Amino acid sequence: MSQRAFLILSWLFAALAGAGLVMLIWRFPPVDGLVALALLLLFLAIAAGSAPIWYRVQQRWSPKTATGSLPYIATRQGVWTGLFVSMVIFLRIFRLLDWVLVFVLFTLLVMTEVFLQQRRQLREIRKSSTKTVRRSRSSAPTYQRAKSASRKRSVKKK
């Protein structure tokens, strides 16, 4: 996906989710089911709205990252942002919000993202190390040793 298509789709999706959230808030009273729907729309709006920001941040901070994987990384980080904001608002609605809990939630999400990025980098390293030229089996050192050992045995028997 190109950068322009990613940015346009993200902003369009964020605008649609935001418009749905505004319509939900203005048209209906806050019933339990609608509060859950409002949190879902808020999550979608923030995730889609913050993905282009994360795209630019990733582009600036890690220029070695392949351009093709940037939309996926940015979308994942946008989802973490939307999840964090939605969880904080959810905890606030039920009066369970505590700064320690916010810190733990933030740390958990950041650690998950760091783990996923490290895993991706490790895969890229493994993929680049396996691109070495493959030799045939007969030219491999272990095969040559085994072949010479069998020759020595056959010479000794004669």
Q: Give the pLDDT score at 129.
A: 82
As for how many domains the chain has, the answer is: 1
Looking at the domain assignment, is residue 68 inside a domain?
Answer: yes
Domain membership of residue 146 (yes or no) is no
CA gap 147, 66 in Å, rounded: 44
Residue 118 included in any domain: yes
CA angle 15, 46, 5 (to 5 degrees): 55
Task: Give 43-100 pLDDT, tens digit per residue.
Answer: 999 999 999 999 999 989 887 777 788 899 999 999 999 999 999 999 999 999 999 9
Domain, as residue range, for 57 = 3-129
Within a domain: residue 153? no
In a domain, 152, yes or no: no
Kindly calculate the radius of gyration of the chain based on its CA atoms and give it in whole angstroms: 27
Note whether residue 84 is domain-resident.
yes
Q: What is the mean pLDDT of residues 101-122?
A: 94
